[in-house]
Amino acid sequence: MLLGKTIGSMGRARGRLAPLVLAGLTLVALSSPARADDNIRPIDFTHNNTGAPAPVPGGVFGSGPALHPGTKICSTATQNAANVNTDCDPGNGITGPHNETSIAVNPTNTQNIIGGLNDYQLGLNPGGQVSETVLSRAHVTFDGGHTWSEYPINANSAYQATGDPSVAFDATGHAYYATLGFRFVGPFNATNPDVLVANSGDGGKTWASTRIAAGSGVETGVGDLLDKEYIAAWGKGNAIVTFGDFRLGVGGALVSATIYSSVTHDFGRTWTQPQPISGNLDQAFVSVPTVAADGKIYVSFLDTKFLDPSSPNFGRDVYEVVQVSPATGARVAGPFNVAKVIDGFTDYPVALGRQTYQDSLFRSWAAGNITADPTNAKHLAVVWSDMRNSPPPAPDLDPYKSVTNSDVVVSESFDGGRTWSSPTAITLPNDQFMPWGAFDASGQLHIGFFDRQYDSANHRYGYSLATEPAATGSTPAGTFSTTQVTTTLSQPTKNDRWFATTLNPAFPFATAFLGDYSNIAVVPNSTDVLSYWTDMRRTSCFAGRCGHSEDGFFARTGG
């Protein structure tokens, strides 16, 4: 597993997936929830982006079975419930968690939906040894979400792990699936990942993958660590992928953090040379593109401007937006300042060197996305979550002594991203986090998010949708109604089967990782919303212990 840095060291390469199980690794309960390991790495604890913990300790990373493009790995049974599990583990002793969900719907056939996830394939060998691969799959349905099948997106063995999934369809129904690609160079190190984009012309069954950008070096030395790629598509064969590039110096110390973009106009067969789009901002990360109704493209990202430890804003970020060229991906306007984000050094409790919430260990952050209104090309919204309405955490940042109240926050623009409304928080009880926004065909803004308002103890979460009525002028409506999507709550504070760590005996086997994001999508030409989230309602048993699972669950809300 790739570990993070100490709290007192403020380098900041953030957020790439590192869900690695390495030989001989065991998870060790630290003496304090607010203490990380002593191995200095270019990871900013303020944004909780240390390498994801191992699903189970003591594993050996291996290679999976050879798969041909278009191979159906498995299929679910037909499901007619309000909440549907898209995972179909193939059996034969192979199982594993799933998280970081992305979803897209085919505009030419709305019964065809693709989900992207981090997929962990764990096997228990006869001698008791755990083997693992981490290869993202395409979870595909052709009946509107009742039956799902899994297909490989990288059928060769060039990469031993892929993650940070992102999926999209263009207007012709051609599909795109972006990930990071990892290779290992030793039991405790990996090459900095590449950015990969696969494309499919048959609704998500058969994929051809292309490397868009290459990382360089390893995570402990000089090089370029590429991270958190995200994709959007439009028209006939057009797509854009944006990603962060963390330039690392000696010992993995951060030099700069820049957002890059690359575009294709031939259905993903070739891509332009990536180019920087974050202007003079050099602490930029976690970008997301969106395509407006007039074809203009906007990209949101976070940038850390408060680096003075004596500042009360120390470690806080600012959301920024740039406009880029659909033809080349080059920046044409911006960056434009959206709002300051309350996500700094002392705004959250901390466990395992990462920000978290009350009585929890799983990492979290403020990041959300940008989305464009199909009824008004100049109307955009940026959504995120932060701690502006939360009481300060305990003096030592211990989550088991803190009370938290994270809220989803929205800012909107009616002039193509040049100016932005004052941030509006959706004030709900307890914690809401990892939001994702999307406008429907009528111009209503929907936001999906993990939601702990349903548990008075602020432990279990559901998944909710907040909806803002369509704007009638040049200002946002500013009022949201909230609907619970989930029919069963998830319990991340104890008894997890995967990523489990115990720091407080009252909360044994707490989950340390449930992904960094989950998504929603709107059905084209309708007001229906598709939600896709990491769900822990099921029980998984592996290597003699049972606990909460992590699965990709799907729901359709609306007509």
Indicate if the pLDDT at residue 199 is higher than 70. Answer: yes
SS3 label, residue 47: helix
Indicate if the pLDDT at residue 3 is higher than 80. Answer: no
Residue 28's contacts (CB-CB under 8 Å, 6 or more residues apart) are none
Whole-number pLDDT of residue 24: 25
Give, as one character, the DSSP assignment of residue 326: T
Indicate if the pLDDT at residue 378 is higher than 50. Answer: yes
Burial class of residue 484 (count of CB atoms within 10 Å of its CB; 0-12, 13-18, 19+)? middle
Mean of all residue pLDDT scores within the chain: 88
Peptide bond into 476 cis (omega under 30): no
Indicate if the pLDDT at residue 37 is higher than 70. Answer: no
pLDDT, tens digit (0-9, with 9 covering 90-100), for 249-282: 998 889 999 999 999 999 999 999 999 999 999 9
pLDDT, tens digit (0-9, with 9 covering 90-100), for 97-117: 999 999 999 999 999 999 999
Phi, psi of 168 (to 5 degrees): -160, 155
Whole-number pLDDT of residue 55: 84
Average pLDDT over residues 75-91: 90
Q: How confident is the model at residue 68 (pLDDT cuts 50, 70, 90)?
A: confident
CA distances (Å), origin 426, targets 74, 168, 480, 517, 521: 40, 28, 7, 18, 20
Answer yes or no: are the C-beta atoms of 441 and 524 closer than 8 Å. yes
Indicate if the pLDDT at residue 129 is higher than 90. Answer: no
pLDDT, tens digit (0-9, with 9 covering 90-100), for 112-123: 999 999 999 888
Whole-number pLDDT of residue 35: 26
Question: Given the structure tokens 């957002």, which residue do they identify?
Answer: 259
CB atoms within 10 A of CB 156: 11
Answer yes or no: are the C-beta atoms of 413 and 437 closer than 8 Å. no
Burial class of residue 541 (count of CB atoms within 10 Å of its CB; 0-12, 13-18, 19+)? exposed
Give, as one character, the DSSP assignment of residue 441: T
Indicate if the pLDDT at residue 165 is higher than 90. Answer: yes
Average pLDDT over residues 154-158: 74
Q: How confident is the model at residue 45 (pLDDT cuts 50, 70, 90)?
A: very low
Tokens of 65: 């079975």
CB atoms within 10 A of CB 97: 30
Helix (H) or strand (E) holding 199: strand 194-200
pLDDT, tens digit (0-9, with 9 covering 90-100), for 208-264: 999 999 999 987 789 999 999 999 999 999 999 999 999 999 988 899 999 999 999
Residue 281's contacts (CB-CB under 8 Å, 6 or more residues apart) are 258, 303, 320, 335
CA distance 380 to 421: 11
**Sign of the dihedral defined by the CA atoms of residues 391, 394, 399, 402, in that order:** negative
Burial class of residue 308 (count of CB atoms within 10 Å of its CB; 0-12, 13-18, 19+)? exposed
Whole-number pLDDT of residue 21: 31
Whole-number pLDDT of residue 473: 87
Lowest mean pLDDT among 30-34, 137-141, 314-318, 465-469: 30-34
Indicate if the pLDDT at residue 64 is higher than 80. Answer: no
Answer yes or no: are the C-beta atoms of 231 and 176 closer than 8 Å. yes
Indicate if the pLDDT at residue 444 is higher than 70. Answer: yes
- Higher pLDDT among residues 190 and 538, named by residue: 538
Beta-strand (E) ranges in 428-494? Answer: 432-439, 445-451, 462-468, 481-484
Whole-number pLDDT of residue 158: 81
With CA atoms as reference, report the closest residue to 83 among 146, 10, 25.
146
CA distances (Å), origin 270, targets 46, 216, 291, 327, 416: 37, 21, 20, 13, 29
Beta bridge partners of 55: none
Q: Which amino acid is at 490?
A: S
Give, as one character, the DSSP assignment of residue 79: -
CA distances (Å), origin 557, targets 148, 149, 486: 18, 22, 11
Total residue count of the chain as it appears in this document: 559
CA distance 134 to 121: 6
Indicate if the pLDDT at residue 11 is higher than 90. Answer: no
CA distance 440 to 466: 13
Percent of the chain past pLDDT 90, that is, above it, reads 77
Answer yes or no: are the C-beta atoms of 421 and 339 closer than 8 Å. no
Going by their DSSP bridges, the two strands 84-85 and 551-557 should be labelled as antiparallel
CA distance 26 to 103: 33
Burial class of residue 219 (count of CB atoms within 10 Å of its CB; 0-12, 13-18, 19+)? buried
HEC sequence for 528-557: CEEEEEEECCCEEEECCEEEECCEEEEEEE
CA distance 397 to 390: 13
| CA-based max dimension of the chain | 67
Beta bridge partners of 98: 119
Whole-number pLDDT of residue 159: 86
Answer yes or no: are the C-beta atoms of 422 and 410 closer than 8 Å. no
pLDDT, tens digit (0-9, with 9 covering 90-100), for 329-373: 999 999 999 999 999 999 999 999 899 999 999 999 999 999 999
Instruction: Please give the span between the terminal C-alpha atoms of the chain, in angstroms, as a whole number.
Output: 44
Indicate if the pLDDT at residue 172 is higher than 80. Answer: yes
Lowest mean pLDDT among 176-190, 485-499, 500-514: 176-190
